[in-house]
């Protein structure tokens, strides 16, 4: 849900409102209670990512992705060698 900017033409009060896209535009100012409120155009009419959890490192560079893929292939190669060694061992017979 996007955050919209509103401004009252009656008292000049400005604020942000978190509301759904299909919600009706607010008309009544919460400060002066007059019907002079208008929604402003601009960056407020978009999804805003606020708070923890969004970091620059979440979007890795291509060189990092390539190095991570190479490390993953190396670790998979070691696992397959280890599993093949255990497959060659004789199985114990149950008593």
> What are the structural domain ranges in the chain?
3-45
Q: Angle at CA 41, nearest 5°, toward 38 and 45?
A: 105
Report the mean per-residue pLDDT for the chain. 78
Query: Helix, strand, or coil here: 23?
Result: coil
Global confidence as pTM: 0.43
Give the model's pLDDT for residue 61: 74
Percent of the chain beyond pLDDT 70? 61
Mean pLDDT score, 71-88: 68
Q: Which CATH number fits domain 3-45: 2.60.40, 2.20.28, 3.10.450, 3.30.160?
A: 2.20.28
Distance CA 26, CA 24 (A): 6
- Average pLDDT of 79-92? 58
Alpha helices, H only, 1-95? 62-88
User: pLDDT by residue (tens digit) across 32-60?
Assistant: 999 999 998 765 445 666 666 666 666 66
Overall size of the chain counted in residues: 95
CA 27 to chain centre: 31
pLDDT at 11: 94
Is 70 exceeded by the pLDDT of residue 83? no
pLDDT value, residue 44: 45
């Amino acid at each position: 849900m996007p955050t919209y900017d509103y401004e009252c033409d009656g008292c000049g009060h400005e604020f942000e409102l978190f509301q759904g896209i299909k919600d009706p535009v607010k008309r009544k100012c919460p400060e002066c209670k007059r019907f002079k409120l208008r929604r402003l155009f601009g960056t407020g009419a978009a999804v805003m990512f606020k708070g923890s959890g969004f970091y620059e490192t979440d979007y890795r560079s291509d060189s990092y992705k390539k190095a991570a893929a190479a490390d993953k292939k190396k670790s998979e190669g070691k696992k397959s060698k280890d599993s093949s060694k255990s497959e060659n061992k004789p199985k114990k017979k149950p008593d």
